[in-house]
Structure 1
Amino acid sequence: MQQPVPPSAASGLSSAAARQRLQTLGPNELPVSRPRSNARLLRDVVAEPMFLLLVACGAIYLLLGDPDEALMLLGFVAIVVAMTFFQQRRTERSLHALRDLSSPRALVLRDGQQRRIAGRELVPGDVVLLAEGDRVPADIDLLASSNLMVDESMLTGESVPVSKQAGGTPEQSRLYSGTLITQGTASGLVVATGPASALGRIGASLATLGGELTPIQLETRGVVKTVASGGALLAVTLALVYGYLNGAWLQGVLAGLTLAMAILPEELPVILTLFLGLGAWRLGRAQILARSIPAIELLGATTVLCVDKTGTLTANRMEVLGLWTGQAEFDGRQPAGELPEALHGLLEYAVLASHRQAFDPMEQAITAAGTRWLANTEHLHRDWQLIDDYPLSRQLLAMSRVWQSPDHSAYLVAAKGAPEAIIDLCHLDAAHSAAISAQVGIMAERGLRVIAVASATFAAPPLPDNQHVFEFAFLGLVALQDPIRPEVPPAVAQCHAAGMQVVMITGDHPATATAIATQAGIHGGVLSGSELASLDDTALSLRLQDCRVFCRIAPEQKLRLVQAFRQRGEIVAMTGDGVNDAPALKAAHIGVAMGARGTDVAREAAALVLLKDDFSSLLQAVQHGRRLFANLRKAIVFIVAVHVPIVGLSFLPVLFGWPLLLMPVHILFLQLVIDPACALVFEAEAIEAGAMQNPPRNPQQHLFDRSLLRRGLLQGGVLLLVLLLCHAVLRAGGVPEYSARSTTFLTLVLANLGLIASNLSWRQPVWQRSHQANRPFYWIGAATLSLLAVVMSVPAVRSLFAFALPAPSLLLASVLLALLCVGWFELLKRR
């Protein structure tokens, strides 16, 4: 057991002490399944069908008595293996970085201040602050607690939450890593982390990311199997035909293997893995954690964004702006001055109704206002003892705290909550209730959040089970403001331009919700929770056509709203941060949890976690989703287009009675262009201009749909036709075999580079993109041309490729034919 040095509970550890302990004791994490080792990764790469085919071709060259060709082929195999290994390793590292990001977070005291840190950075001796919905990040001994209930089912199997309290028995005062706070608040001292915790000792491990197959991966797997099966049949047929016609069976087998290499779309699984892995990694760099890889696919199809108000649209930085009692009123926006005596009691009991160590921004604002305006008065009661509290519930949107002062025998009760709930607790008459409601409306229309405060006394224990038993007296209203984030209105406007509806769901008063929605640019009908409860599913579906603001919504009603939107055929992204939001987050196509203020339960239920709690991050995630899917389609078109001439040049010359045009070494050279182009160039391409002005894509759209295949086949088919005509003309003109082959191959390589450049954008012509940087394309283009120059200029290498150096006129013809093909590719963009 790790033994911490007890720190001051008031200030926690110092940053320096925490760093030292982290270095000494290691991170607070459990053993996770390790990423594949380099040796295993290399073994998996070498076992790919493409490399097995290449090795077989090398063996046939040896049998044919051509060791130079075999050695060169194997040398190229080593290069392609190295490139594939690098790409796979990059994906592994991306997913490993995501596993680090997905560790639970913890609110701690460091250097006397509250800080939110990654759970892996916790060390013995840290003081941790916990609230409802938090996952306990380490083994902790309680220092203080209030109405604390903990779900320990993952350790004990007992489904009923257990009560925990500071100062109780060792079992009652100890919280265990991985358990869940279901009620109450607490602070505690970390006593064991990582493998030394209770969870670590029983050998539990974290779930890893990236293991599931996504829908497009399943679709691609089917395409690869179909194409590979057809390719194998064609390859066998070609080998038999060539061997029969020419009597050279080994050459026939070589021709068949070459055709199999040409047909096999081995790039598809590689680029899918890389696109999705790097897509999740790029989201992580943008402070958006993708906990579910399939969610990345759906981001671009999102049609409805259901967002909460606090912290997403607003800054989650509350400030008390007004106090009202009916007899007196105070505007906190006026120049600093003394709070009228008539309002001291209202603010005093608002502070008493809040937690002393506040987690909630509203309570923090009330406490700060009390410290500011009640300083040097008798209304701040740091010596009062908390006896009990009544937390907020779904049935009553109000909470009460019971206190005992040193000079009072009776208990003093402070309550705060929604004005209608406090009015209900105070049993006010209709006239008084109407006056309060009118004032609430005035404040709410200014976009202020309004809560009511009441007080009561209770003679002696035992305390009642229900807050309604207390005889509350209404004290007044407290108005708070949480300003709109400056980036929200333009982000909402971008969502509307992109064809997405933005819906605000909040527990606030209708007037407050409407005011905030208007400031954010969200316009539409308003539906309250009480109205929602009265609607059946059919009526609700009709109301969803024009409603964009939902107020006074209970957590369970969020789930119903998400389900109703889904039944209308919408693709729903839903934000949430509380324990009760978890069902709605699970039900949404894309659940989005708030990383900074959200509970661990919400994070675990969500597909995405916004590490920055603001709406612009959600819009950024949608942009990433649209970019990823669009670039993936461009890469698939390129793969289809580039394989058409390779396949055609592998078997058509045999049918025409020509010598073989493409040999395994040529296919391998082309792979040096194709694989990195698909995996790196297209993945790195920025989002198309105007992509966020288009409506969301149809979620039922297949990756390999008819339009994609048609575009790829038209590009590749015309390129094949140009190459065949070029070779036929060269043969008819008496150009020697090696020179004709080299000219045709040169044209193919240059056209492939043009094919990449043209497909990077389906909107802009190539010549208008010169100012836009896609560095991987420039690097790959330069490397390809350099390799081509080496092949053509070095006699030993040239002979291994069965090439001859073309005449200058033939070199010029290759360039012109490649440009002609690029013109055709560009013409297709206008269709």
Structure 2
Amino acid sequence: METTFDPENITGLSEDEAAGILKREGYNELPSQKKQSLFSILLNVLKEPMLLLLLGAGLIYLFLGEVKDALILLVFVFVVVGITFNQERKTERALEALKNLSSPRALVIRNGEQKRIPGREVVKGDVLILREGDRVPADGVVLSCTNFLVDESLLTGESLAVRKCESTGLPQSLQPGQPGGDDLPFVYSGTLVIQGHGIAKVSAAGIKTEMGKIGKALGTITEEDSLLKKETALIVKNFAIFGGILCAFIVVVYGLTRGDWLHGLLAGLSLSMALLPEEFSVVLLIFLSMGAWRMSKRNVLVRRMPAIETLGSSTVLCVDKTGTLTLNKMILSSIYSGNESCEIDKNKCLLEKFHELLEFGYLASQQDPFDPLEKEIKKSTEKFLPDHEDIHREWKLVREYPLSKNLLALSNVWESNDSRKHVVATKGAPEAIIELCHLNEAEKEELLFQIQKMADKGLRLLGVAKASFQDDSLPEKQHDFEFEFIGLLGFVDPVRPSVVQSVKECYTAGIRVIMITGDYPGTAQHIARQIGLKDPDKYITGQDLSSMEQTELAEKIKTTNIFARVVPEQKLIIVNALKLNGEVVAMTGDGVNDAPALKSAHIGIAMGERGTDVAREASAIVLLNDDFFSIVAAVRLGRRIFDNLKKAIGYIFSVHMPIAGLALFPILFNLPLVLLPAHIAFLELIIDPACSTVFEAEPEEKDIMNRPPRNLQERMFGRKSLTLSLLQGTSMLAGVIIVFLYALQMGKGEVDARTLTFATLVIANLTLIVANLSWSHSLLKTLKSENKALRYVLVGALSGLLLVLYVPALRNLFRFSLLHGDDLLIVFIVGTLSIAWLRLLKTQIRNNF
């Protein structure tokens, strides 16, 4: 299909015009689910078991006439509800930000320049640039197109893609009709560009599109619960069952032994509150949500939460060379023509004998290129031939012959002003150009030698050829022209500065790096040596892949880290071979044909800058800057998240033991009650922010990238972790019970004993937090860490403790007595030592746990 519309004349909307339309008509998105009302949020909050227990205890206090106790529990309810409302707003904002990042991106022309924006910001009147693999962001009229095929099955159910033509009338006078059928000059929101490229003017956005009219969402992803979520749900369920049975047992024992069933019910509720680890599900949600947010700050967008869990288990990173390991900024560095080669020096003139090579390379490219190679060709040609007639600015482009799977070359046909009538410029893979030029064996052998020589220098090569054609009717195939070989253009793509260190870090972390490229083996090996890839002398080509059995490949891939001349469809074969070997595979990709491999890999990583929407939809992670360093940073962060989550779960187990023990111990031995519901609610106000914000914000351990990848089936809370938590919890419980019994033995009353014991428990709890944050640092070094959340919790908890001990009104509400200097000394010594003594056995504990 011929292109008759000149894209260089398009200016599109101005930013001010677009902003005005956006403000007037709203975002380009379908109506989202209504926000929850305050009443519905309150109902959801009140479903939380801890709040139900607090309310139950409050009602019993009211029934007993203990109004002050009921009021203090009610205050705690309001505090928790307030925190929940605040978290709800923060979560909505975070999810909205992530939604904006993960929405399809659109390439538009504004103020005459190409600009990539979120799809939801496209407005009526915008000019879209659509390429193969793009998801159309809005309904529009096609202004210009070449070989433009679009999959409209989402709207029409048609199994085949339909061909598009460009509009013949004024775009503003055309309104898209019903989708379906070939040769319509309209594109529709949500459809997918399968082949070719085009330019379209938006005629409708948001709910006014065909998609909006029929009221169907583009599709939702139902994710299976991750292993972590299943494990924590099982733990909470088991604890709830155990706590319920124990609660009923305590009520019965208390009622029978003391004859006071209402206080027995209070004791049972206290024990239930002490045992219920409701923090598990909250902690998991916060860690994964904050992890996704932290990764987005490092240019890594997590589209599926389980990927965070899987990242720390990755054993193999399969990465594209171009744009990921390299800068994707092609620099023309070497050319070959007429049996002579020349190294390009940007500061010198180019010999005239090489002018024709640049001339036809320029004529075979887009006039307003997006491709890095074509940008460099245009830049170099305009530099070395600035006023030369070889650029032929007055010629008219009459036809384009695109790349195809069978012929990796493209041709532009120009209408010239001389006797040649039509001048054909072609460029493409050197093998394709050799095929088009029908070279004899001697010429072919000489050229292949030169190609290998240049490829061994790490150059990416393009062959250039020319032809002329006199007839008005152009042939259907490029093969029908009589091409003459001109020469080779050699480009170098510099390695990203951070890659060498990142690859080294991967090897230290026990992660293999496999490079996949469409370039020649020599080019791949050259880059592999530059970045420090292991075994750079071994490689497998795409041709080798196509002839290998899966079992043979699975064996060879154990020692091969370079795959060259690979087409995107073959990535799936590589992924399957690695999975056959039991590897946990992360795979990068950017094209339509990469989607199956991205979906099959344990972690599909799409490119955000140059990737297609199809690749993004199939992936679990999107790299917003396409940098290999970001992948390694994501792995590091994934390991940190799992590490800190494991610490938080261990802390939750440990801290609930002394609380439950203090609720149970006095009942079993007919002693005064230590913990009342208000006390447990106070402790929860320390435990909740500690296990969520403090542990989540803790920096990674210094050896986190010196460990082998975690087994994907490893339980979050296995036998060793459970034993360590039991050890810490038992030590804390022993310390507070010793203080409790000591107070009673010294003749102190119930209130004095309760105050000493509770204060000791708070100090022990704070010591437990600091101790569990890092087993590689001392307690003092952990206290001096960059973790601001730790300081806030420590200061807040100690301030709260001082208030309830020394403000008379609060002291009476909590049924505490005044602590003196010697009492405080006991509290701090026992509370600290109940955990600190374990640090003396730090080496043994780290080796065993």
TM over 0.5: yes
Could you report, residue by residue, the CA deviation over 1:510-556 in whole angstroms, capped at 9, with x for unpaired residues? 11111112212223222111122222112211211221111100111
Task: Map 1:252-401 to 2 at 5 A.
Answer: 252-333=264-345, 335-337=347-349, 339-401=350-412
Amino acid at match of 2:559: D
Q: Residue in 2 aligned with 1:237? A: 249
Contact 1:755–1:825 (8 Å) recurs in 2: no
Tell me if the contact between 1:98 and 1:209 (Cα under 8 Å) persists in the aligned partners.
Answer: no
Contact 1:147–1:184 (CA under 8 A) maintained in structure 2:
yes
Relative to structure 1, is the Cα distance of residues 591 and 804 closer, same or farther in structure 2, using a 3 angstrom cutoff?
Answer: same
Shift of the 546–212 alpha-carbon distance from structure 1 to 2, 3 Å rule, reads closer
- In the alignment, which residue of structure 2 is the partner of 1:213? 225
TM-score of the aligned structures, taking structure 2 as reference length: 0.93
Q: Do 1:95 and 1:281's aligned partners in 2 also have CA atoms closer than 8 Å?
A: no
SS of 1:591's equivalent in the other structure is strand
Q: Is the 8 A contact 1:95 1:210 kept in 2?
A: no
Q: Check conservation: 2:247, 2:269, Cα contact below 8 A.
A: yes
Cα distance in 1 between the residues matched to 2:307 and 2:472: 53
3-state DSSP of counterpart to 2:426: strand
The correspondence of residues 310-709 of structure 1 with structure 2, limited to 5 A, is: 310-333=322-345, 335-337=347-349, 339-407=350-418, 411-460=422-471, 463-524=474-535, 525-709=538-722
What is the alpha-carbon distance in structure 2 between the residues aligned to residue 523 and residue 354 of structure 1? 37
Paired amino acid for 1:84: T
The alpha carbon displacement at 1:475 in A equals: 1.4
Aligned-partner SS, 1:31: coil
Number of equivalent positions: 825
The CA deviation at 1:197 is 2.3
Distance 1:415 1:699 in 2: 50
Residues 31 and 205, structure 1, Cα contact 8 Å, conserved in 2: no
Q: CA deviation at 1:223?
A: 1.3
Distance 1:160 1:407 in 2: 43
Deviations, residues 357-381 of structure 1 (Å, cap 9, x unaligned): 3221111211222222233223223
1:105-120 correspondence runs (5 A) = 105-120=105-120
CA contact (8 A) 1:394 1:554 kept: no
Does the residue aligned with 1:474 lie in a helix, a strand or coil? strand
Distance 2:145 2:489 in 1: 27
- How big is the shift at 1:412? 3.4
- Cα distance between partner residues in 2 of 1:58 and 1:44: 19
Contact 2:420 2:468 in 1 (8 A): no
Alpha-carbon separation, structure 1, partners of 2:603 and 2:60 = 52
Q: Which amino acid aligns with 2:552?
A: A
Unaligned runs of 5+ in 1: 1-5
State the SS of the aligned residue for 1:379: helix
Equivalent position SS for 2:215: coil
Report how far residue 209 of structure 1 moved: 8.0
Structure 1 counterpart of 2:376, one-letter code: A
Deviates further, 73-82 or 597-606 = 73-82
Structure 2 CA distance for aligned equivalents of residues 168 and 178 of structure 1: 24
Q: Is the 8 A contact 1:731 1:740 kept in 2?
A: yes
Q: Cα offset for 1:26? A: 2.5
Q: In structure 2, what is the equivalent of residue 183 of structure 1?
A: 195
SS at match of 2:391: coil
CA contact (8 A) 2:190 2:218 kept: no
Q: CA 1:610 to 1:38, structure 2 compared with 1: closer, same or farther past 3 Å? A: farther
Task: Look up the match of 2:71.
Answer: 71
TM, length-normalised to structure 1? 0.95
Q: Which amino acid aligns with 2:605?
A: V
Q: Partner of 1:723 in structure 2?
A: 736
Aligned AA (1:266): E
Query: Partners in 1 of 2:406 and 2:725 — Cα distance?
Result: 60
Name the counterpart of 1:771.
784
Q: 2:133 and 2:544 mapped to 1: Cα distance?
A: 28
- Tell me, in whole angstroms, the C-alpha distance in 2 between the residues paired with 1:513 and 1:438: 17
TM-superposed deviation, 1:281: 1.5
Deviations 1:6-37 (A, max 9, x none): 99943333333333333333222222235544
After superposition, the C-alpha distances for 1:575-609 in whole angstroms (9 at most, x for unaligned) are 11111111111111111111111111111111111
In 2: Cα distance, 1:220 partner to 1:754 partner: 25
SS in 1 for 2:239: helix
- Corresponding residue for residue 57 of structure 2: 57
**Whole-Å Cα distance in 1 between the matches of residues 7 and 130 of structure 2?**
18
Q: d(CA) in 2 for partners of 1:428 and 1:591?
A: 42
Partners of 1:507 and 1:344 in 2: how far apart? 28
What secondary structure, in the 3-state scheme, does the structure 2 residue paired with 1:190 have? strand
Does the Cα contact within 8 Å between 2:767 and 2:836 map onto a contact in 1? no
> Identity percentage over the alignment?
48
The one-letter amino acid paired with 1:224 is V
Q: Which residue of 2 aligns with 1:759?
A: 772
Of 107-116 and 602-611, deviating more is: 107-116
Answer whether contact 2:300 2:630 (CA < 8 A) is retained.
yes
1:663 Cα deviation after fit: 1.1
| Separation of aligned partners in 1, 2:835 and 2:235 | 28
Counterpart AA for 1:321:
S
Who is 2:751 aligned against? 738
Q: Which runs of 5+ in 2 are unaligned?
A: 1-5, 177-183
Q: CA deviation at 1:344?
A: 2.6
Worse overlay, 92-101 or 620-629: 92-101
1:551-580 per-position Cα deviation (integer Å, ceiling 9, x unaligned): 100111111101111111111111111111
Instruction: Find the counterpart in structure 2 of residue 3 from structure 1.
Output: none
Q: Secondary structure at the match of 2:338?
A: coil
Work out whether residues 336 and 489 of structure 2, in 8 Å CA contact, stay in contact via their aligned partners in 1: yes
Tell me, in whole angstroms, the C-alpha distance in 2 between the residues paired with 1:271 and 1:706: 21
Q: Could you give the per-residue CA deviations for residues 193-252 of structure 1, whole angstroms, max 9, x where no partner exists?
A: 222222222223356789763321122111111110111001001100110111111111
Q: Tell me whether 246-255 or 381-390 shows the greater mean CA deviation.
A: 381-390
Where 2:413 maps in the other structure, the secondary structure is strand
8 Å CA contact 1:136–1:175 kept in 2: the answer is yes
User: 1:301-322 CA deviation, whole Å, 9 max, x = no partner?
Assistant: 1111111111111111112222
- 1:802 match: 815
- Contact 2:771–2:836 (8 Å) recurs in 1: no
DSSP-derived class of the 2:674 partner = coil
Contact 2:141 2:167 in 1 (8 A): no
Q: Which moved more, 1:369-378 or 1:710-719?
A: 369-378
What code does the residue aligned with 1:23 have? K
